Amino acid sequence: MADTIDAGDGFVAVPHGVTGPPDVGDVIIFEAKELHGGGLTTHRVVRETDRGYITKGDANPFTDQDGKEPPVKDAQIVAEALQINGNVVVIPYLGTAIMALSDTVTTVQQTIATTLGTRSLLGTNGLAYLFFSATALFYAHGWWTGDKRRTTRSRKRETNLDARYVAAGFALLLVAGATAAMVVPAGTHEYGVVSAEFESEQPTVIPVGQSNDVEYPLVNSGVLPVVSYVEPASDGVEVAESRRVLPAGGQAAATVTLHAAEQTGYYRRYVVEHRYLALLPVGVIDALYEMHPWAPIVAIDVLLGVPFYLLGVALLGTGRIRDRSRDGPSLLGRLGRRFR
């Protein structure tokens, strides 16, 4: 996408569920089938056809579909780059910084998981658990050390850091971890269906005009129950009992019915999964999901973030954070006293 987005730069990606179908000129992030061996690709929509979207990198002389990449279906689109007045909002070097931070976090997770002999601390769920545990230890340390330096007084020096920003930062990190735990395991799944003139033992090779059932596996590797919805994302697909409630460490399967076309050939069928932490009653999540697939995520994030922020404000106060000399009580000590 050079020179619009240079290597190492970042941009604001708006989820496809929020933006809706793209227009010609929009920059989309989609799951490519052939480009770069498959995987996420960021290119611009240059034309729309009955078979899908025609895309092209800004620095490329030819479209992706001039090669082996098939037209992009709506189900393949993950997000859309934010544009203002037709220009993509680019954040220089953000991509490089995020990759470095991601590598560091992954290394920390792997080290801790190897030391403790558990895989539950890996992935996005593990990141949320690690953050919550670290914050709990932070508060606990303040609790136990709060009285040790209480009697020593010295001159205070006020900093420019508002305690409410610190509380908001902790809350945002928790919300980010919870959102990732819901969004990352979900997404779109493709079935390549061959409409054939013969019978086959392969479940996706189906006689012309007929149908076949396959199982879509659902796995919850976290320590919290989740609510999962599997819905059709293209023609030629049906899903029975789309909603499943998975306990911690639980597994299940949704039955997906694939229909072969009336003409022989290769056809792509899609289903999409939406997943939510079961922190609200299932009936409430159902109602929010009917409104919009992102509505339960927003509600759960608010449920987690607001109380966590208020707790932080209660412990840290609402003024500027003050530094003390080495003989005065530490920030941890003051947190402990406030908590008491």
What digits encode the pLDDT tens for the residues 98-114? Answer: 778 777 877 877 787 77
In this prediction, what percent of the chain has a pLDDT beyond 70? 80
pLDDT category, 258, cuts 50, 70, 90?
very high
* pLDDT at site 221: 84
Asked whether residue 39 carries a pLDDT value surpassing 70, the answer given is yes
Query: Would you place residue 86 in the very low, low, confident or very high pLDDT band (cuts 50, 70, 90)?
Result: confident
- Where residue 265 falls (left for φ over 0; alpha for ψ -120 to 50; beta otherwise) is left
Instruction: Report the share of the chain in percent with pLDDT over 90.
Output: 49
- CA 325 – CA 147 distance, rounded (Å): 16
The answer, as to whether pTM is greater than 0.85, is: no
Ordered structural domains, the chain, with CATH: 10-91 (no CATH), 108-182+303-339 (no CATH), 187-277 (2.60.40.10)
* Residue 276: strand pairing partners: 227
Contact 206, 195 (CB under 8 A): yes
| Mean per-residue pLDDT of the chain | 83
Phi, psi of 249 (to 5 degrees): 75, 10
| pLDDT (0 to 100) of residue 236 | 94
Mean pLDDT of 154-183: 77
